[in-house]
Amino acid sequence: MNSFRYAERVRERARRGFPTARSPPCVVFLRGRRRRCVKVRAVTVSESLSVWSNRDFRLVLGGGFVNNVGDWLLAVALPAFVYIETGSGRATAAIVVIELLVAIVWGPYGGSLVDRWDLRRTVILTNVLQAICLVPLLAVTADRVWPAFIVAAVQGLLREVNDPASFALVPRIVPAEQLTAANAANAAGGSLARLIGSPIGGLAVAAGGLPLVVIVDGATFLAVAVATWLVRTPTPSLHDDTSADEGVGVRSGWRRIRQHPRLVGYLTVQTMASWTFAMFPVLFIAFVIDVLRGDEATVGLIRGMAAFGGLTASYLVGRRAKNVDPTLLMMWGYTGLGLVAFVFVNVSSVSTSLWLFLGLFALSGLPNMTSQVGAVGAAQRLCPPELLGRFQGLASATGAVGAIGGSVLVGLLISHDNVKVLLNVQAGLYVMCGLATLLLVVRRGDSTPSITT
């Protein structure tokens, strides 16, 4: 029998409540005239089957990959078109600011809606609406830029519902012990999507302007909707309507989150991390231009190397660290990223060889991706399933606040003379994120139930 078909039959039996694994009390070995009885641990279905045998996960992974390609395509194409047509840096920056403000204001409310609705239907609906809402881009010209601002705002609103729903969907279709492997696969897909979507966005603008962008990006949204429609696992809201004292609003969500100290610690760490990551793009460009004496091509070449390290990390985490506590992955990922960043900055005093920095930046992809896989897994493990939407929405809002803070700080402090100093500060902040993870998440006690399926 085909292994995938067998896996689906076993999983269907598990959903219906039939026994799916047996373990004998012991296995008897005959050695001469002596008998030896060895106890054997029961092996569950989810342990004996790979996450790749899960049809619904393959659909969600493929849909998420296509969705990320579309997001990167639009993130590159829309600002590039606006800047080329208007020559206005303010108009281009306004698109990014609008998206961040939407995340801050709307993120928690979008997450609360996700906890009220069926996850599968929410992902389908938001992707269809995102495809439709691209149409106003056809009206954008050099003299009429305002439709681009409207599209950026509406896409941001829909994204703040779609992303928490997609985030909460994975632990509903993947067993808890396979979440690390699933998150590693999603992280690898995200790296590939960035490599593919960014150049496609630039090429689409150059070849056909925004009409081609609307066609290609709209097709990716519709492809995600179709893939999610094919998912079989039921994903209804876990909110109990009979509960009179608990709602699914933003305030009730925040009250419940505060009852779990590790979740509050997680939000603190991720806000610090968003602040630190937001400092990097401008500092990195200044470092390459002023210290390494490179150009725009050098900037792109070095940054692209991180994807290779990220893909390697995704494979290693998925294969070798799938049973490791994701909070530890998060902690060591941030700490390792700080150490690599420190070497990356200060080795320039010894050598400015391009190959050296290509290798170091590729190496940085390993701890960076490890921290991301750990952060996703930690949220899924620590947060009660019925609260995942609101928690992810709140994390999006606090992350956007951190991103704005980091960007503003760098803009105020950067100069040609202190780039290396600020990059060393940033490396120290990465290490502080690792230490904060240890103190606020790993070691902090909590009664949060682990996620089961």
- Residue 308 makes CB contacts below 8 A (sequence gap 6+) with 362, 365
User: What are the respective helix, strand and coil percentages of the chain, to the nearest 5?
Assistant: 80, 5, 20
Of 11 and 301, the structure prediction assigns the larger pLDDT to 301
Arithmetic mean of pLDDT, 198-219: 84
Q: Find, among 419, 273, 405, the residue nearest to 348 by Cα.
A: 419
**CA dist., res. 338 & res. 433, Å (int):** 9
Is residue 5's pLDDT more than 80? no
Tens-place pLDDT, residues 211-239: 888 998 899 999 999 999 999 999 998 87
- Domains along the sequence of the chain with CATH: 3-48 (no CATH), 55-229 (1.20.1250.20), 256-442 (1.20.1250.20)
pLDDT for 176 equals 82
Of 322 and 256, the structure prediction assigns the larger pLDDT to 256
Arithmetic mean of pLDDT, 142-161: 90
- Residue 176 makes CB contacts below 8 A (sequence gap 6+) with 381, 450, 451, 452, 453
Find the range with the poorest average confidence among 56-70, 126-140, 160-174, 408-422: 408-422
- Contact predicate 354/294, CB 8 Å: yes
**CA dist., res. 201 & res. 196, Å (int):** 9
57-61: long-range contacts at Cβ-Cβ below 8 A with a sequence spacing of 24 or more?
A: 57/170, 57/173, 57/174, 57/182, 59/227, 59/228, 59/230, 59/231, 60/166, 60/169, 60/170, 60/173, 60/227, 60/228, 60/231, 61/182, 61/185, 61/186, 61/189
Q: What token pair was written down for 354?
A: 């391009």
**Percent of all residues in the chain with a pLDDT value above 90, rounded to a whole number:** 37
Is residue 122's pLDDT more than 90? yes
pLDDT category of residue 311 using cuts at 50, 70 and 90: confident
**CA dist., res. 433 & res. 269, Å (int):** 6
Arithmetic mean of pLDDT, 276-282: 88
pLDDT for 331 equals 96
Is residue 1's pLDDT more than 80? no
Of 323 and 366, the structure prediction assigns the larger pLDDT to 366
Is residue 152's pLDDT more than 80? yes
Is residue 49's pLDDT more than 60? yes
pLDDT for 89 equals 67
How many other C-beta atoms can be found within 10 angstroms of the C-beta atom of residue 346? 13
**CA dist., res. 106 & res. 123, Å (int):** 17
Rounded to a whole number of angstroms, the CA Rg of the chain reads 24
pLDDT for 42 equals 40
| Range among 7-16, 183-192, 314-323 with highest mean pLDDT value | 183-192
Of 318 and 438, the structure prediction assigns the larger pLDDT to 438
Mean pLDDT of all residues in the chain?
82
Tens-place pLDDT, residues 77-106: 888 788 777 777 677 778 878 888 898 889
Eight-class DSSP state of 240: -
The model's pTM is 0.75
